[in-house]
């Protein structure tokens, strides 16, 4: 074609350039075309607020009725031991009221179908089964005084329920992956059987679930010794874990709702927070009802499950941040174990040397002691949330977070050991005059 002929043809149509705003609006991730969405922390909090409201109101309203039921059934805690702090018989079926509030809140969460709640998966059935199992275990102990072995069996059932749906089984992955590689790495072959690193991760995670449930439930049971202490510290811990859960969910693109536990973490934290705040007015000094083992074991279970779910994707560093929030019960349990080990008495032996007993003696009152321990728990919660936020934003490296956690828990263990040794030395000092006096008397008689 000559140049003259080319000039006779009409110009080819041109597409106008697309504005920059339009380019940025096109989803770069194909999953977003399938309906995935992102929300901010406040949007999640607003979307799930009804869960908190239901938990709070149900627990607040049903607690007086549960108290009447406990009195009618004579489920009453009588102050017949020197270590008990109350002066009058008090009903201790309050944990059942907390259970009703939590279950109502979880049921409410299933009805949320729009906003953030519509993009995230519901609470798995395994967690609900675990909640029922742990509540029945504590309730049976409150009513019938179960053998400790039966209590442990009930807690292991609740732990096994989590492993069935892999809730918490990846909690150890962040620590084990550098040693064993990716989950599908073949470690060794034994004839037709191949051992994968994923098997090591799963069984290690399953063992950790059992340890977390047993330790966490009994740790919360140990600090339930003053009016409002367990329920108040649980509210502080739930707030800290909720903050980390909201930061993890904020801005996260959710492709398959059932493949994420982001919403489950938020629901459980809000259900626990609302329930214990609804129970606290009845339980704060002077209390008219106690949690009992039913309540303390349930609270410990919910806190432990929330911590385990922080490691949903193998984020072990976030589990450490959750454990820092849980430091007060850990510290009290470590102190109790060392104290009884050094004294040579069984672990089930009760005494009046827990942290809350010491705080009450030093500060001269239940309210002062409880408020002081609230402050300690809040300090740990702020530290855990801060470290979790720094890890989520990748401002600090994971090894730094591990180092801070190890130093903190090492210091807790050292303090517990020092206090236990001081108690033993004091007991030995009190016993020495009686033992040294006997030889002197014998010598005098013989002379």
pLDDT tens sequence for the chain (447 residues): 444 544 545 555 554 554 444 433 334 443 333 344 577 778 888 889 999 999 999 999 999 999 999 988 888 876 665 455 555 678 888 999 999 999 999 999 988 766 676 677 788 899 999 999 999 999 998 888 888 889 899 999 999 888 887 777 777 666 555 555 555 554 445 445 444 555 666 777 788 888 999 999 999 999 988 889 999 999 999 999 999 999 888 866 655 555 578 889 999 999 999 999 999 999 998 889 999 899 999 999 999 999 998 887 777 788 888 999 999 999 888 888 887 777 677 766 776 777 887 888 888 888 999 999 999 899 899 989 988 888 887 776 666 766 777 787 777 767 767 766 776 677 677 666 555 544 444 433 333
Please give the pLDDT value at position 238. Answer: 96
Element (H, E) at 76: strand 76-77
Alpha helices in 171-228 (DSSP H): 173-180, 197-223
Please give the pLDDT value at position 79. Answer: 66
What is the pTM (predicted TM-score) of this model? 0.80
Please give the pLDDT value at position 190. Answer: 44
Spatial distance between the Cα atoms of 381 and 401, rounded to a whole number of angstroms: 15
Please give the pLDDT value at position 251. Answer: 61
Spatial distance between the Cα atoms of 239 and 306, rounded to a whole number of angstroms: 11
Please give the pLDDT value at position 30. Answer: 38
Spatial distance between the Cα atoms of 305 and 242, rounded to a whole number of angstroms: 13
For residues 218, 329, 268, 232, the Cα torsion angle rounded to the nearest 10 degrees is 110
**Residue 426 CB coordination number (10 Å):** 10
Please give the pLDDT value at position 32. Answer: 37
Nearest partner of 372 among 358, 359, 382, judged by Cα: 359
Is residue 170 a contact partner of residue 201, using CB atoms and an 8 Å limit? yes
């Amino acid at each position: 074609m000559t140049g003259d002929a080319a000039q006779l043809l009409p110009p080819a149509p041109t597409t106008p350039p697309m504005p920059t705003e339009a380019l940025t609006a096109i989803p770069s991730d194909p999953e977003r075309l399938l309906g995935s969405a992102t929300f901010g922390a406040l949007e999640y909090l607003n979307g799930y607020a009804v869960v908190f409201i239901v938990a709070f109101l149900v627990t607040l309203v049903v607690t007086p009725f549960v108290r009447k039921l406990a009195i009618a059934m004579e489920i009453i805690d009588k102050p017949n031991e020197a270590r008990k702090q109350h002066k009058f018989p008090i009903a201790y079926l309050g944990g059942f009221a907390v259970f009703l509030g939590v279950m109502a809140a979880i049921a409410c969460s299933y009805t949320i179908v729009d906003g953030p709640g519509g993009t995230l998966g519901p609470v798995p059935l395994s967690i609900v089964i675990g909640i029922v199992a742990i509540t029945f275990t504590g309730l049976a102990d409150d009513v019938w005084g179960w053998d400790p072995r039966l209590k442990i069996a009930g807690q292991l059932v609740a732990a096994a329920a989590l492993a069935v749906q892999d809730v918490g089984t990846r909690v150890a992955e962040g620590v084990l992956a550098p040693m064993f590689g990716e989950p599908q790495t073949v470690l060794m072959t034994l004839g037709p059987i191949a051992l994968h690193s994923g098997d090591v991760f799963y069984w290690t995670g399953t063992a950790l679930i059992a340890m977390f449930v047993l330790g966490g439930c009994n740790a919360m049971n140990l600090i339930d010794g003053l009016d409002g202490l367990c329920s108040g510290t649980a509210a502080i811990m739930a707030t800290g874990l909720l903050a980390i859960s909201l930061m993890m969910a904020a801005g996260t693109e959710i492709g398959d709702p059932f493949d994420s536990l982001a919403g489950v973490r938020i629901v459980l934290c809000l259900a626990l927070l609302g329930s214990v705040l609804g129970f606290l007015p009845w339980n704060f000094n002077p209390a008219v009802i106690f949690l009992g083992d039913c309540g303390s074991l349930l609270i410990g279970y919910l806190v432990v499950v929330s911590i385990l779910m922080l490691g949903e994707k193998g984020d072990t560093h976030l589990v450490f941040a959750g454990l820092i929030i849980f430091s007060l019960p850990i510290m009290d349990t470590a102190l109790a174990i060392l104290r009884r080990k050094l004294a040579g008495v069984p672990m089930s032996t009760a005494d009046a040397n827990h942290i809350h007993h010491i705080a009450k003696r030093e500060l001269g009152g239940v309210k002062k002691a409880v408020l002081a321990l609230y402050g300690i728990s809040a300090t740990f919660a702020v530290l855990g949330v801060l470290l979790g936020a720094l890890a989520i934003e990748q401002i600090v490296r994971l090894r730094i977070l591990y180092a801070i956690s190890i130093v903190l828990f090492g210091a807790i263990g050292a303090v517990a050991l020092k206090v236990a040794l001081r108690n033993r030395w004091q007991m030995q000092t009190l016993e020495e005059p009686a033992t040294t006096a006997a030889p002197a008397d014998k010598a005098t008689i013989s002379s």
